[in-house]
Amino acid sequence: MMKWASGGPMDNSTSLGMFPVEDSPLPPSQLPLLVNPWDIVLCSSGTLIACENALVVLVIWQNPALRAPMFLLIGSLALADLLAGLGLVLHFTCAYLLRSESAQLLTVGLVVASFSASVFSLLAITIDRYLSLYYALTYNSERTAAFTYTMLLLLWGLSLCLGLLPVTGVNCLDEQATCSVVRPLTKNNIAVLSISFLLLFGLMLQLYVQICKIVMRHAHQIALQHHFLAATPHYVTTRKGVSTLAIILGTFAACWMPFTVYSLIADYTYPPLYTYATLVPATYNSVINPVIYAFRNQEIQKALWLVCCGCIPTSVAHRARTPSDV
């Protein structure tokens, strides 16, 4: 296992592509180029993430009909994941081609800000879904649009601040003992990010529990009004909607929880293999997000068919919205 630069050849912290340091009089730009296979995996993930989410951003940007608060939040999520994918690719490029630490600091800041915006956008989408059910009669008001713009402003502002920390000096380049499992982020820096994630996950879990209660209550009311039995199609689709919510939350936790917990308990002395093994699945969340939040949406499906084929299949055009689309 290659030891990556963090002040000495015995450092174990993962630097996402930092060039190796040897006891050599040669400047970094002339050191032999040794590529970590895990960095190739991250770069490949970044390329897939960028391409997939660029399609979502393009569709929402070009379609004037997709301007409701829900689509703005989906667009924010896609934009954040797009920037995260570009950040992973640029970081690989800076590490192995430019081989500049200052450039890598900028790309690390971009990756931190983008993934933070992605997680915050997921929370904003959850809040929006809860409000659309709890305030169903007044959801499509100007007040809702103003609240959505406020959420977007806050989440991107906070994400930008988090991304600027390593760029503005909150890094461990000059003090190896403060490094976290991901260089150049400090232990305190990544602890703040991890604890914030756990708090956001707890809030999302609570909101999805409330959403499930509302959906089941509405389904029960409709069943009573129409004298439905438990085995009717409406009950089945309602159960499918609740299952969809469980899949959404479970996927989010499965992708991010391993890295979050590991980064809290580990430090730069731990083997890089463990860091990569938990970090790579976290990036896969940005691959899955468009599938869950964009490509399953009926309006975005129509826009995609128009962009790709110039027509909308009848099965897509007349598909009714069900609780599973929640």
Tens digit of each residue's pLDDT (9 = 90 or more) over 163-180 = 999 988 888 888 888 899
Query: Per-residue pLDDT averaged across 271-291, rounded?
Result: 94
**Banded model confidence at residue 19, pLDDT cuts 50, 70, 90:** very low
- pLDDT mean over 3-19: 43
**pLDDT attached to residue 287:** 95
If you average pLDDT over every residue of the chain, what do you get? 81
What's the pLDDT score for residue 80?
A: 97
Structure tokens at 242: 């609740």
Mean per-residue pLDDT for 154-160? 97
Looking at residue 227, what is its pLDDT?
59
Return the SS3 of 14.
strand
CB 197, CB 205: distance < 8 Å = no
Residues 185-233: pLDDT tens digits? 999 999 999 999 999 999 999 999 898 888 888 777 776 766 554 444 5
- Chain-centre distance for alpha carbon 323: 24
Task: Decide if pLDDT at 286 tops 90.
Answer: yes
Asked if pLDDT for residue 264 goes beyond 60, the answer is: yes
Could you tell me the two tokens for 49? Answer: 């993430």
Q: What's the average model confidence in pLDDT over 131-136?
A: 83
What pTM does this model have? Answer: 0.84
Q: Give the model's pLDDT for residue 302.
A: 82
Whether 196 contacts 158, CB under 8 Å: no
Residue 140's pLDDT is what?
Answer: 72
Domain 37-309 class?
mainly alpha
Residue type, 296: R
Helix, strand, or coil (residue 186): strand
Give me the percent of the chain exceeding a pLDDT of 70.
77
Ranges of each domain in the chain: 37-309
